[in-house]
Amino acid sequence: MIGIPTALLLGSILLLLLLFVAMRGSGNARKLSSGSDLPLLDDQAALDPCPPEFVARIFSSEDWKFVAKAKSPQLENLFRRERKLVALLWVHQTSTAIRRIMREHTQATRQSHDLHFATETKLVLLYAELMLLCGMLFLAIQSAGPQRVRGLAVYADALSQRLAQAQLDFQTVTVGPKLHSAGSS
């Protein structure tokens, strides 16, 4: 049996380690996707969101099975390289969007006088989970390839949409009444 202080210490170390992996993963994804032939994303820029069906397509094994039928190592290598880059770009794009949402949320909370501790905690935990997932996805894509992590990617995508929706709801609740009162004054 370990005591509560030891458990807390171990938990904190583990959390820090995982956050480190997440940050490193995101940074590396950025570096790798810069080798891609499209301009890198600006952290400030709002993106046209990636539709969920494309997340499933990027991480799908259907195309891999089709390429494998040709029994050409050259084609297989090309497919692995190409799809890995697309998947890493998606991870980078997702983590960029998550950071932007949280930045916007932090700015919005500064102006709000009606904060709910439970809601804020939930959002921070959701953010931490997402950043962690992005880090894990980065490592898994690098080591196992995108096709093996389809479920995780689809889950991360759904979570990021939940985070975006939560921020949108928060803005509607906090900024909406202000706009309304500004409009009526």
Partner 1 sequence: MNATVKLVPVQAAYDDLLNRSLSKISCDLARLIYLASTRDYNTGTYHHDGLAARFRPDVAGKALEIAHRQIFYQLSAYSLEELLAQLQTYLDCSHESAADVLRTWQKLEPYRIAIPVEVNPAVARLFLSNVRLALAIWRFRQEQAPKHP
Residues of this chain that bind partner 1 (CB under 8 A): 36-39, 41, 47-51, 53-54, 57-58, 60, 62-63, 66-67, 70, 72, 74-75, 78-79, 82-83, 85-86, 89-90, 93
Of 90 and 127, the one with the shorter C-beta distance to partner 1 is 90
Residue pair 87/58 in contact (Cβ under 8 Å)? The answer is yes
Report the nearest approach of partner 1 to the CB of residue 79 (Å): 6
Task: Extract the tokens encoding 83.
Answer: 């799809």
Give dist(CA 127, CA 160) in Å, integer: 8
Closer residue to partner 1, CB minimum distance, 43 or 82: 82
Query: For residue 183, what are its two tokens?
Result: 């409009």
Q: Compare residues 19 and 159 and give the one whose CB is closer to partner 1.
A: 159
Nearer to partner 1, 20 or 66 (CB): 66
Q: Is 161 helix (H, G, I), strand (E, B) or coil?
A: helix
- CB count in 10 Å sphere of residue 46: 9
Considering the complex, what minimum distance in angstroms separates the CB of residue 90 from partner 1?
A: 4
In the complex, what is the shortest distance from the CB of residue 100 to partner 1, in angstroms, rounded to a whole number? Answer: 14
